[in-house]
Amino acid sequence: MLTFTAEQSFSRPVSVSTTRNGSVDLLRFAGAIGIILFHCGAPGSWFGLAALPMFVMLLVFYGAGRALSVSARRLLVPWLIWSGIYAALKIAQSVVTGTPLSDEFVPWMFLTGPSIHLWFLPFSFLFLAVCAAMPERMPTALLWPVCIVLSAAALGMFNTGQLPVPFAQWLAVIPAACVGLLMQRLNNKILSPLALAMSAIVALLLGVSAMTNQLLIAGLVIAMAFAIQLPTTKASSFLSSMSLGMYLVHPALIAALLYVVPSDSPLFFPAVVTGSLALTLALKKLFPASV
């Protein structure tokens, strides 16, 4: 399901430029809004889900080759914090509604955390750990087939629709994770996401529909972000820094707002976006490790 350049082998991963890309900054913020759009069920929500493979691509691209301790601090620490927060919220809900705790907590939460959207964090760390365990020398001629077979198998299994949480979620983004790895290992940052988009088109023509639209969109927007690199500004850096926090807090905000604003109200989605941004700002000042 992926792409490749012809003749390159590596003695070490190609280093990622430390120069910030303003296009990527803005894309991260747009992606956070897209995920909120999807979870609010607003018109065009299917489009917002494309942010998920987009985030995975960027995370692997920037994270592969770095020390796992850095990834753990950035991914697992917020995961543990928010697992505790959402667990406390579930316990409080159980007390208020009188429902048994067994209805609030299910076995798959051991792999994701107490809220399903948190699966993204441990999966990303696990994939980066696998990348770190790869041999230091891996020829392109081997890396490409491994990524292609892994991506095709993952998407095929995902499209069976028979896998439980969180394995279905993991399989849905493995093609994007492989593209992020290829972007990090190869000099050309545009070829891999473009090939993902083209592969998604082929999959659609073959009748593979689940997640392929989102992979197509993600591949195209990532390729555009690296083809058209905008300068980084204070505004773009600020918006980018809000993206993870907005992703983490918005389900709790959705649950709270449902008590006061109907989900089908035109005010619901803007209220969740605005509230998620405000709450992330507050947490960055009061509890920065969480976001």
**pLDDT one-digit tens code per residue, 45-82:** 899 999 999 999 999 999 988 899 999 999 999 999 99
Report the C-alpha gap between 61 and 176 in whole angstroms.
10
Give the lowest-confidence range in 52-66, 98-112, 163-177: 98-112
Contact (CB, 8 A) for 38 and 27: no
Report the C-alpha gap between 70 and 50 in whole angstroms.
26
Report the C-alpha gap between 161 and 142 in whole angstroms.
30
Q: How confident is the model at residue 281 (pLDDT cuts 50, 70, 90)?
A: very high
Residue 9 tokens, joined: 């082998």
Q: Is 229 helix (H, G, I), strand (E, B) or coil?
A: coil
Contact (CB, 8 A) for 76 and 126: no
Q: How confident is the model at residue 230 (pLDDT cuts 50, 70, 90)?
A: very high
Residue type, 237: S
In whole angstroms, what separates CA 258 from the centre of its chain?
A: 25
Residue type, 261: V
Q: How confident is the model at residue 10 (pLDDT cuts 50, 70, 90)?
A: very low
Q: Alpha carbon of 266 to those of 39, 42, 171, 272: distances in Å?
A: 15, 9, 33, 11
Report the C-alpha gap between 75 and 58 in whole angstroms.
14
Question: What is the largest distance, in Å, between two alpha-carbon atoms of the chain?
Answer: 63
Give the lowest-confidence range in 76-85, 166-175, 205-214, 218-227: 205-214
Radius of gyration, CA atoms only, the chain:
19
Q: Is 8 helix (H, G, I), strand (E, B) or coil?
A: coil
Report the C-alpha gap between 201 and 194 in whole angstroms.
11
- pLDDT exceeds cutoff 70 at 15: no
pLDDT at residue 136, rounded to an integer: 66
Which residues lie below 8 Å from residue 128, measured CB to CB, with a gap of 6+? 59, 60, 63, 64, 66, 68, 71, 75
Structure pTM? 0.88
pLDDT at residue 248, rounded to an integer: 97
Q: Which of 128, 95, 113, 122 is nearest to 251 (CA)?
A: 113
Higher pLDDT among residues 16 and 156, named by residue: 156
Average pLDDT, the chain: 89
Which residues lie below 8 Å from residue 258, measured CB to CB, with a gap of 6+? none
- pLDDT exceeds cutoff 70 at 138: yes
Per cent of the chain over pLDDT 70 is: 93
Contact (CB, 8 A) for 245 and 291: yes
Q: Alpha carbon of 71 to those of 16, 26, 179, 206, 214: distances in Å?
A: 15, 22, 18, 37, 25
- Crossing angle (nearest 10°) for helices 234-257 and 77-97: 20
Give the lowest-confidence range in 141-150, 217-226, 267-276: 141-150
Higher pLDDT among residues 134 and 63, named by residue: 63
Average pLDDT over residues 141-169: 90
pLDDT at residue 4, rounded to an integer: 25
Average pLDDT over residues 213-220: 96
